[in-house]
Structure 1
Amino acid sequence: MPSYEMPLEEMKEYRGSSPCPKDFDTYWSDALAELDAVKPEPVLKPAAFQAAGTECFDLYFKGVRGAKIHAKLLMPQHSAGKSPALLQFHGYTGSAGPWSEKLGYSGAGFVVAALDCRGQGGSSQDTGGVLGTTMQGHIVRGLSDEPENLLMRHIFLDTVQLARIIMEMPQVDAQRVSVMGGSQGGGLSLACAGLEPRIAKAAVDYPFLCDYKRVWQMNRTVQGAYSELRCYFRDFDPLHQREDEIFEHLGYIDVQNLASRIRARTLMAIPLMDEVCPPSTQFAAYNRISAPKRLCIYPDWGHEYIPRHADIVFGFLNDWP
């Protein structure tokens, strides 16, 4: 039996080490109220990429703090009645990805909207003082400021704004809207489903943004995107005098704390050899979901694309009463 960072039976019961701020629900109620005050003003522009049977658009809309957000939108032609919709979220520092990779879902009748996270590898703006990409440091962006200025808070709200726009489209059945993604995209899928209760399904692979304190305590896995935590302490709190305050602030953007709010049917893949997002942190989020859920455990896989699981996800998302 392989050796994991925590015994599997313990992970199946583990519910996280990071704190949940006492005003967590108020924090997100206030955040959603801020979003309510933002008129999204969506604009559709025909994309340069087009494919038979699908109309492709660049979708632009307004997010909180004045950001212009971009998503790729694919709409099936000649569909009878209202269509299900699928929101796709990408990995950390990435982008919405190629149009062609989304044609399988649009060909199956889904309206597909793939978000570019603000300031990362796509076309969405991070309005934090500069134009263009800001790429790295998004977990700790705003950590020395008030919690309402955390950049990940704004990105979570962008996912909700996109969901609202898609749900209001006349071509879309608002009761059949799903979210999907891996790594950061998995974390954002959980966040979106936790903040927008109308999301019907969530397909989540090895989610990032879970249980920051556990990642820190493990030390050896503070690498890649999570290395921001180590850099932040080294540069801004080398004696760890603010450690409790820092993890309290990170608790606002820890998706394990949003997981209990999820109403969507959830399918999650957890690879036990994941050295980027420790499996225990993924279980911390999964174990807090009280909605109907299904877990696929992959003992021999790491933080990588799992081909056969992609077919399981497709079947899950395409299965409607």
Structure 2
Amino acid sequence: MPLVDMPMEKLKEYRGINPRPDDFDDYWERALKEMKAVDPELEITPSSFQVPFAECYDLTFTGVRGARIYAKYVKPKNVPGPHPAVLQFHGYSGHSGDWTSKLGWAALGYSVIAMDVRGQGGRSEDTGGVKGNTLRGQIIRGLSDHPDNLLFRHVFLDTAQLAGIVMSLPEVDPARVAAMGGSQGGGLTLACAALEPRIKLLAPVFPFLSDYRRVWEMDLAKDAYEELRLYFRSFDPTHEREDEIFRKLGYIDVQYLAPRIQGEVMMAVGLMDTVTPPSTQFAAYNKIVAKKRLVVYPDFGHEHLPGNDDKTISFFQEKL
């Protein structure tokens, strides 16, 4: 079988090489404390898009640092009692997608909530206010500032805050909430369930935001990770701060959040992926101690994985 990364037997044992900051746990406890102190000022208003069998809403809340975060909320009609909910997270630079892409879940009797990541292609705010580079990438946003100002710290907290909000809705059963997404959405699925451990099921697909140094050493700091190369070229051209930079990125490395996950995981990976290399995905997967299973596509890269959407629906139906 052709390879772009390690053989499968090595992938199953790989534990990642990006440094984990010594105060990683304190960092995230401090972050969660900040999140819990925020008044979300929740607003849920009917959307202009509606269908006969579900209700569509614009949901907005205040996240850390004052940003207003937007999500599409689709609630099924005529479902007695609290019902399951699915959180959806989109790919890097994208947005929550069309309303029609949520309707299948509503037809199953599930609420679905799809968040726009702050500062990307949707309606959520990026309040900014960091020192250093704010051009060409959000992984490096805040990297020249205090670690508490890393933008993806705030994004990870947005996912957890949204999960808590959804679990508090009277129509949702808080014990039957799942999360899903691909690429950035896969990374955010892992981060969400790590920071809000009541998430029952996770279906991440080729997760992004994991094991940054491995990406660098594979010479794959391009495409989704191009900003790493651009950061070094602009701010550390002789790599005198390389260890410091990767250690700071360790705060927002999902492989180190993965052990916190308590929900059951079904993760899909393509072994020909050169955008989020398989080893970086396995670095996170191998640290998950909760019940888990892997769906492997040997001949596929960072692309649509045939049949995986159906597998996800079946997984959620079976367990929720």
Q: Do Structure 1 and Structure 2 share a fold, with TM-score over 0.5?
A: yes
**Within 5 Å, which residues of 2 pair with 1:224-239?**
224-239=223-238
Contact conserved, 1:45 with 1:58, CA < 8 A, in 2? yes
Q: Does 1:247 align with 2:234?
A: no
| One-letter identity of the residue aligned with 1:300 | D
Q: Residue deviations 1:184-230, cap 9 Å, x none? A: 000000000111110101001000001000000111x2111201000
Q: Distance in 1 between matches of 2:294 and 2:68?
A: 36
The code of the aligned residue for 1:85 comes to A
Partner AA of 1:315 in structure 2:
S
For residues 113 and 276 of structure 1, what CA distance do their matches in structure 2 show? 27
Partner of 1:207: 207
Contact 1:222 1:229 in 2 (8 A): yes
Q: How many angstroms apart in 2 are the aligned matches of 1:216 and 1:225?
A: 12
Partner of 1:14: 14
SS of residue paired to 2:176: strand
Cα deviation per residue 1:266-319 (whole Å; 9 max; x = unaligned)?
Answer: 000010011100001001100000100010010011101113111001101121
8 Å Cα contact 1:120/1:135 also seen in 2:
no
Deviations 1:4-31 (A, max 9, x none): 3111110111010101111000000000
Spell out the pairing of 1:82-93 with structure 2 (5 A cutoff).
82-93=82-93
Kept after mapping to 2: 8 A contact 1:119/1:135: no
Q: Residue 240 of structure 1 aligns to a residue in which SS?
A: coil
Instruction: Map 1:54-65 to 2 at 5 A.
Output: 54-65=54-65
SS at match of 1:315: helix
State the alpha-carbon separation in 1 of the partners of residues 155 and 71 from structure 2.
13
Deviation by residue 1:244-270 (Cα, 9 ceiling, x = unmatched): 110110000000000011001000001
What are the superposed Cα offsets for residues 64-99 of structure 1, whole Å, 9 maximum, x if unpaired?
000000000000011011110110000000000011
1:164-190 alpha-carbon deviations (Å, 9 max, x no partner) = 110000000000011000000000000
Deviates more, 1:4-13 or 1:189-198: 4-13
Is the partner of 1:51 in helix, strand or coil?
coil
Runs (4+) of structure 1 exceeding 6 A deviation are none
Contact 1:46–1:58 (8 Å) recurs in 2: yes
3-state DSSP of counterpart to 1:318: helix
Structure 2: gaps (5+ residues): none
Match of 1:128 in 2: 128
Gaps (5+ residues) in structure 1? none
Q: Which amino acid aligns with 1:80?
A: P
Q: Which moved more, 1:116-125 or 1:101-110?
A: 101-110
**1:200 is matched by which residue type in structure 2?**
K
Q: Tell me if structure 1 keeps the 8 A contact 2:3–2:272.
A: no
TM-score (norm 2): 0.97
- The alpha-carbon distance between structure 1 residues 120 and 136, as it changes in their structure 2 partners (threshold 3 A), is farther
Task: Give the aligned partner of residue 51 of structure 1.
Answer: 51
Write the distance in 2 (CA, Å) between the matches of 1:10 and 1:52: 51
Structure 2 counterpart of 1:295: 294
Partners in 1 of 2:31 and 2:260 — Cα distance?
15
Task: Read off the aligned partner of 1:287 and give its amino acid letter.
Answer: N
Q: Which residue of 1 aligns with 2:70?
A: 70
Identical-residue share of aligned pairs (%) = 59
SS at match of 2:74: strand
Q: Is 1:279 aligned with 2:278?
A: yes
5 Å-filtered alignment, 1:82-231, equals 82-129=82-129, 136-219=136-219, 221-231=220-230
Preserved contact between residue 59 and residue 71 of structure 1 (Cα < 8 Å): yes
Could you tell me whether the CA contact under 8 Å between 2:84 and 2:111 is conserved in 1?
Answer: yes
CA distance in structure 2 between the partners assigned to 1:125 and 1:107 by the alignment: 31
CA distance in 2, matches of 1:148, 1:129: 12
1:47–1:57 CA contact under 8 A, matched in 2: yes
Once residues 7 and 319 of structure 2 are traced to their aligned partners in structure 1, the CA distance between those partners, rounded to angstroms, is 36
- How far off its partner does 1:136 sit? 4.0
